[in-house]
């Protein structure tokens, strides 16, 4: 049974039993404390915890998920995969234990011909919480399970909670017996390899008041409404229904695994190491495909860094399989074909996904070449110093800064006969992880407790009047000070204000929040920020400018009209620039992110090379022609499917509800889904002035533009600058380019003459320095402090010049100078001196130690430095001691 068929059967089964089929949420989590959707229940947490009233009494979904905490284990076991899909059904105060157990048993054991999965009843076992007699009895009565196939476990295994005060409850897990070939008999309590969990039913029935650990918490009492939350791993069920050994061999993953084998000339099943590599490729390519489908782009931070790591691990695995050239073009196409039965959008968005993947692959293959060059130098220096281990900080720098895999560093070092200081590397990696965890924990402490909004949200959604009105009369239903509700706030305090209605736009869709004020009888509030902390609720962060404000009072929200005008100009301008990009560059120039505020817009789009000045000018002209043509801007609300059918563009990675707002500019010329505020006709934008274009990743570019009056002010400033240059250079504006070019050429010629004079003066010192050579044993030594010099290059030229004068001798040259307030030392040796054992690298390192720093280099030429200028005489003495 194909994976897509299993999910179809599941959703149909629960839809027929009154469950609303909820589309999968994005892999990019709405929860600010986590980067990704890591479990099927994550999108339902606000409803399960009572933070937001559930829109349905019962629901079902297929949720795509990402977990990367065990990324190093991917491919090694049958259980570890970064991307997976969770089937689930939920009840919000509707049916409870009996209904959940009845549905689960019916779907699992119903014959395939009748729409079920057809598992044999004799192969199914369950576990229940140790004190949950009710669930154990229901499994016997509803499912007819014998008591010996119902096993009890403790809190660690069969009790669920969020880790914070709130709902919790026992759970019951369903296991499949895979047979004696997989382990010992006796149920899941004996062997969880043979008995594999396929479905978990959580019975949320208790309110927890204090949660100290997974197993240590206090129960305040029963929940007023009991909920059901279940989760069934789709890949695991597919594995059993398809008769394969692990998730990598299922129909949605195996095609990429097989292709990796074909491209490398390796056979899956012939070598454990190669099998692991093929599984890594198959898993990571699929995960990357799905992340990019949800709008994540490779980068060096956050979600983008996780994606980049997945892509680079895939490339690394292919290299270990013997494929050193590009492979993503074929691997991603195979993954697309395997996944589009479940996710048709992966096919329609594929051109953008492919562009991102191929761009990242090209960049990383270059990175591998650059990293190899850096590593080769580090290996040479390590061997030259006589050390047996490559420093851990070098390996960490390559890994952290250049993205060079530690496995490749280990392999290269081993080929050179060196070890890597893994202890130091692991310590640095541990410190980095600790910083990341501390940062995440800090963010979680600040943002996690959104329960403060639950009571306000229960009163209904905040009505937004700002599309048509700049003022809205409302009632204050809540005030929040330092995270806690209060009844009143006075002048000087900063608080959050919750209103029944508002005209102030909350930050969303790339548009910055409105500026404005909130006034009432005896108080005035300055609006600092407007956000949506939970779905349907608007929170206004304000400073109480005067008076005292209290819950229950009437208030009027007043939008700053000038700021709103600029914001609508910028947001409509963003749509126009996006349409102009696609007109000039083609449909692959798809928006990948945006930000706009009054007078300014920034737009990221899929493109893998810099725009030429001519192309930028063309995009700007197309944009301003659209402004000039006074195109009508029309907004409409309609069902999402209807909007897509009429060609409305859903921006890559954005989340949309069932009903969406469509913004047309010039009819179909620009038709996008957007909840922002807009002008009524394009001429109101005034002017679009592209002021910047830059790279924001291997396959993304960014354009920045000033809009409206800000665009005019920029042109006026540039006009004044041209006028000033014309006066100073006594040239007409149209002659400025030639005049500045002439001055620049004259300046460069003068600089060359000065450099020639300086070089000549520098070389004039060489004979005098060579003449100061002193014999120590059978070696001539030139050891001098030269005072202040402009650069280390000048010092190096003098050292090599003196060495050239003494080339026929057994000579060592050691020069020190003050360069920018710090001592720098250069050591050069002749061939005869090196034959006698002199090593410039070792000497420079010793001098640098005296100077309070570090150094080294090759035997013939090396450099060192430090921070203590007063130690220069001692450093020169150290050279003499070294030669003696």
Q: Measured between alpha carbons, how far is 155 from 161 in angstroms, rounded to an integer?
A: 10
Residue 570: closest CA among 719, 689, 714 = 689
- Average pLDDT (558-577) is 97
> 660-694 pLDDT, tens per residue?
999 999 999 999 999 999 999 999 999 999 999 99
The pLDDT value given to residue 694: 92
> 474-530 pLDDT, tens per residue?
999 999 999 899 999 999 999 999 999 999 999 998 999 999 999 999 999 999 999
Examine the pLDDT at 717 and tell me if it is beyond 80.
yes
- Helix%, strand%, coil% for the chain, nearest 5: 45, 25, 30
pLDDT band at 448 (very low <50, low <70, confident <90, very high): very low
The separation between the first and the last C-alpha atoms of the chain, rounded to the nearest angstrom, is 82
Three-state DSSP state, 807: coil
* Residue 273: how many other CB atoms lie within 10 Å: 11
> 781-817 pLDDT, tens per residue?
999 999 888 888 889 999 999 999 899 999 999 999 9
Three-state DSSP state, 447: helix
> 621-633 pLDDT, tens per residue?
999 999 999 999 9
| Torsion sign, CA atoms 292, 297, 303, 305 | positive
The pLDDT value given to residue 351: 86
The pLDDT value given to residue 402: 67
CATH fold of 589-711 reads: 3.30.980
- Average pLDDT (326-331) is 96
pLDDT band at 449 (very low <50, low <70, confident <90, very high): low
Is residue 14 within a helix (H) or strand (E), and if so which, with residue range? helix 3-15
Q: Give Cα separations from 875 to 301, 636, 794, 813, 849 (angstroms).
A: 44, 78, 20, 13, 8
Examine the pLDDT at 453 and tell me if it is beyond 80.
yes
Examine the pLDDT at 290 and tell me if it is beyond 90.
yes
* Residue 434: how many other CB atoms lie within 10 Å: 10
Is residue 401 within a helix (H) or strand (E), and if so which, with residue range? none
Beta carbons of 32 and 447 less than 8 angstroms apart: yes
Residue 454: closest CA among 43, 46, 55 = 46
The pLDDT value given to residue 447: 33
The pLDDT value given to residue 875: 92
> 530-539 pLDDT, tens per residue?
999 888 999 9
Beta carbons of 457 and 51 less than 8 angstroms apart: yes
Q: Measured between alpha carbons, how far is 137 from 150 in angstroms, rounded to an integer?
A: 9
The pLDDT value given to residue 1: 95
Task: Give alpha helix (H) positions in 586-676.
Answer: 613-628, 640-645
> 108-151 pLDDT, tens per residue?
999 999 999 999 999 999 999 999 999 999 999 999 999 999 99
Half-sphere exposure of 95 (CA within 13 A, CB side): 19
- Average pLDDT (175-181) is 94
Examine the pLDDT at 239 and tell me if it is beyond 70.
yes
Q: Measured between alpha carbons, how far is 849 from 864 in angstroms, rounded to an integer?
A: 9
Q: Across the chain, what does the average pLDDT equal?
A: 90
Q: Measured between alpha carbons, how far is 641 from 644 in angstroms, rounded to an integer?
A: 5
Q: Measured between alpha carbons, how far is 774 from 755 in angstroms, rounded to an integer?
A: 32
- Average pLDDT (359-377) is 81
Q: Measured between alpha carbons, how far is 276 from 77 in angstroms, rounded to an integer?
A: 9
Half-sphere exposure of 197 (CA within 13 A, CB side): 19
Please tell me the least confidently modeled range out of 360-369, 614-623, 848-857.
Answer: 360-369
Please tell me the least confidently modeled range out of 153-167, 418-432, 435-449, 728-742.
Answer: 435-449
- What are the domain boundaries of the chain? 3-249, 252-374, 387-448, 451-559, 589-711, 765-883
Beta carbons of 672 and 648 less than 8 angstroms apart: yes
Please tell me the least confidently modeled range out of 176-180, 758-762, 870-874.
Answer: 758-762
The pLDDT value given to residue 51: 84
The answer to whether domain 765-883 has CATH 3.10.310.40 is yes
> 202-234 pLDDT, tens per residue?
999 999 988 899 899 999 999 888 999 999 999
Q: What percent of the chain has pLDDT over 70?
A: 96
Query: 542 burial class (0-12, 13-18, 19+ CB within 10 angstroms)?
Result: buried
Look-up of token digits 């390796």: 266
Residue 596: closest CA among 623, 581, 618, 574 = 574
The pLDDT value given to residue 645: 85
The pLDDT value given to residue 102: 97
> 7-65 pLDDT, tens per residue?
999 999 999 999 999 999 999 887 666 789 888 888 898 888 888 889 999 999 999 99
Beta carbons of 357 and 346 less than 8 angstroms apart: no
The pLDDT value given to residue 339: 96
Q: What are the tokens at 385?
A: 């110093």
Half-sphere exposure of 519 (CA within 13 A, CB side): 6
Annotated binding site for Zn(2+): 571, 575, 674, 678
Counting other chains too, the contacts that 767-770 makes at CB distance below 8 Å and 24 or more residues apart are 767/805, 769/798, 769/802, 769/815, 770/802, 770/805, 770/806
Question: 3-249: CATH homologous superfamily?
Answer: Bira Bifunctional Protein; Domain 2 (3.30.930.10)
Half-sphere exposure of 822 (CA within 13 A, CB side): 11
Beta carbons of 783 and 879 less than 8 angstroms apart: yes
Three-state DSSP state, 849: helix
CA dihedral 440, 442, 447, 451 (to 10 degrees): 110
DSSP letter (8 states) at residue 477: E
Look-up of token digits 């890949």: 235
Position with higher pLDDT, 652 vs 417: 417
Q: What are the tokens at 488?
A: 């009143």
Q: What are the tokens at 392?
A: 């851990």
Annotated binding site: 571, 575, 674, 678
Look-up of token digits 């949800």: 294
Three-state DSSP state, 474: strand
Q: Which H, E and C letters describe 28-92, residue by residue?
A: ECCCCCCCECCCCCHHHHHHHCCCCCCCCCEEEEEEEEECCCCHHHCCCCCCCCCEEEEEEEEEE
Q: Measured between alpha carbons, how far is 435 from 797 in angstroms, rounded to an integer?
A: 44
The pLDDT value given to residue 446: 36
- Average pLDDT (167-187) is 94
CATH fold of 451-559 reads: Elongation Factor Tu (Ef-tu); domain 3 (2.40.30)
The pLDDT value given to residue 437: 58
Q: Measured between alpha carbons, how far is 119 from 585 in angstroms, rounded to an integer?
A: 54
* Residue 70: how many other CB atoms lie within 10 Å: 13
The pLDDT value given to residue 588: 82
The pLDDT value given to residue 368: 78
pLDDT band at 90 (very low <50, low <70, confident <90, very high): very high
The pLDDT value given to residue 440: 47
Examine the pLDDT at 653 and tell me if it is beyond 80.
no
Q: Which residues of 655-685 are buried (b: 16+ CB within 10 A; e: fewer)?
A: ebeeebbbbbbbeebbbbbbbbbbbebbebb
The pLDDT value given to residue 188: 94
Counting other chains too, the contacts that 522-531 makes at CB distance below 8 Å and 24 or more residues apart are 522/547, 522/548, 523/547, 523/548, 523/549, 523/553, 525/497, 525/549, 525/555, 528/494, 530/502, 530/504, 530/505, 530/506, 531/506, 531/507
The pLDDT value given to residue 441: 47
Q: What is the pTM of this model?
A: 0.74
Task: Give alpha helix (H) positions in 294-327.
Answer: 302-320
Q: What are the tokens at 787?
A: 């005072």
């Amino acid at each position: 049974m194909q994976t897509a068929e299993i999910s179809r059967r599941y959703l149909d089964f629960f839809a027929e039993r009154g469950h609303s089929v909820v589309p999968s949420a994005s892999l990019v989590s709405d929860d600010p404390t986590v980067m990704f959707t890591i479990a099927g229940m994550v999108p339902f947490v606000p409803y399960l915890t009572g933070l937001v009233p559930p829109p349905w009494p019962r629901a079902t979904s297929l949720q795509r998920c990402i977990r990367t905490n065990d990324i190093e284990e991917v491919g090694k076991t049958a259980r570890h995969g970064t991307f997976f899909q969770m089937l689930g059904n939920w009840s919000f105060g509707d049916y409870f234990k009996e209904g959940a157990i009845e549905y689960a048993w019916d779907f699992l054991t119903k014959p395939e011909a009748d729409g079920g999965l057809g598992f044999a009843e004799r192969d199914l076992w369950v576990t229940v919480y140790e004190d949950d007699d009710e669930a154990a009895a229901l499994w016997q009565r509803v499912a007819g399970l014998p008591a010996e196939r119902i096993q009890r476990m403790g809190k660690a295994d069969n009790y669920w909670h969020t880790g914070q005060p709130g709902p919790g409850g026992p759970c019951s897990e369903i296991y499949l017996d895979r047979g004696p070939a997989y382990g010992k008999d006796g149920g899941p309590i004996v062997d969880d390899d043979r008995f594999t969990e396929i479905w978990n039913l959580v019975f949320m029935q208790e309110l927890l008041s204090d949660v100290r650990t997974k197993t240590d918490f206090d129960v305040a009492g029963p929940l007023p409404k009991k909920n059901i939350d279940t989760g069934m791993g789709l890949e695991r069920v597919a594995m059993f229904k398809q008769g394969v050994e692990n998730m990598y061999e299922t129909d949605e993953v195996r095609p990429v695994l097989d292709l990796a084998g074909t491209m490398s000339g390796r056979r899956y099943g012939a070598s454990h190491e190669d099998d692991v590599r093929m599984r890594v490729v198959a898993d990571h390519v699929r995960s990357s495909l799905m992340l990019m489908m949800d709008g994540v782009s490779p980068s060096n931070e956050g979600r983008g860094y996780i994606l980049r790591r997945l892509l680079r691990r895939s490339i690394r695995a292919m290299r270990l399989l013997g494929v050193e050239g590009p492979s993503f073009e074929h691997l991603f196409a195979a993954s697309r074909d395997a996944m589009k039965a479940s996710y048709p959008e992966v096919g329609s968005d594929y051109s953008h996904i492919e562009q991102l993947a191929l761009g990242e692959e090209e960049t990383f293959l270059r990175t591998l070449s650059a990293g190899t060059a850096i590593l080769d130098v580090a290996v040479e220096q390590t061997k030259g110093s006589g050390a047996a281990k490559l420093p851990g900080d070098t390996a960490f720098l390559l890994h952290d800064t250049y993205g060079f895999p530690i496995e490749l560093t280990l392999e290269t070092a081993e080929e050179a006969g060196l070890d890597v200081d893994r202890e130091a590397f692991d310590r640095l990696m541990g410190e980095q992880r600790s910083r990341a965890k501390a940062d995440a924990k800090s963010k979680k402490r600040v943002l996690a407790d959104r329960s403060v909004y639950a009571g306000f949200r229960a009163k209904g959604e905040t009505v937004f009047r700002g599309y048509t009105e700049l003022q809205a009369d409302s009632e204050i239903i809540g005030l929040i000070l330092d995270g806690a509700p209060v009844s009143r706030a006075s002048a000087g305090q900063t608080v959050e204000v919750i209103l029944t209605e508002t005209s102030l736009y909350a930050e969303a869709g790339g548009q910055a929040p409105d500026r404005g004020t909130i006034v009432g009888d005896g108080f005035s509030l300055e609006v600092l920020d407007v956000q949506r902390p939970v779905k349907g609720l608007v929170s206004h962060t304000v400073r109480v400018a005067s008076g005292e404000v209290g819950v229950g009072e009437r208030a009027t929200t007043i939008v700053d009209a000038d700021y709103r005008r600029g914001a609508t100009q910028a947001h409509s301008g963003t749509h126009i620039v996006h349409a102009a990009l696609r007109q000039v560059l083609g449909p692959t120039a798809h928006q990948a992110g945006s930000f706009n505020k009054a007078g300014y817009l920034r737009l990221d789009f899929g493109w893998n090379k810099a725009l030429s000045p001519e192309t930028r000018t063309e995009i700007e002209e197309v944009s301003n022609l659209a402004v000039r043509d006074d195109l009508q801007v029309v907004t409409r609300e309609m069902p999402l499917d209807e909007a897509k059918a009429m060609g409305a563009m859903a921006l890559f990675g954005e989340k949309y509800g069932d009903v969406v707002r469509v913004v047309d500019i010039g009819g179909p010329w620009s038709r996008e889904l957007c909840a922002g505020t807009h002008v009524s006709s394009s001429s109101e934008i005034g002017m679009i002035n592209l002021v910047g274009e830059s790279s924001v990743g291997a396959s993304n570019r960014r354009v920045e533009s000033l809009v409206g009056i800000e665009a005019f002010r920029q042109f006026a400033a540039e006009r004044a600058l041209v006028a000033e240059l014309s006066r100073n250079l006594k040239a007409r504006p149209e002659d400025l380019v030639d005049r500045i070019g002439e001055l620049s050429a004259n300046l460069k010629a003068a600089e060359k003459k000065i450099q020639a004079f300086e070089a000549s003066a520098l070389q004039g010192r060489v004979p005098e320095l060579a003449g100061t050579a002193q014999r120590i044993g059978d070696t001539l030594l030139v050891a001098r402090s030269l005072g202040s010099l402009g650069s280390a290059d000048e010092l190096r030229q003098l050292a090599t010049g003196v060495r050239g004068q003494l080339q026929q001798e057994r000579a060592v040259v050691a020069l020190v100078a003050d360069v920018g307030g710090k001592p720098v030392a250069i050591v050069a040796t002749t061939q005869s001196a090196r034959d006698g054992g002199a090593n410039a690298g070792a000497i420079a390192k010793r001098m640098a130690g005296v100077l309070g720093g570090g150094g080294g280099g090759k035997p013939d030429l090396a450099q060192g430095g430090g921070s203590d200028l007063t130690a220069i005489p001692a450093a020169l003495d150290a050279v003499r001691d070294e030669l003696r």
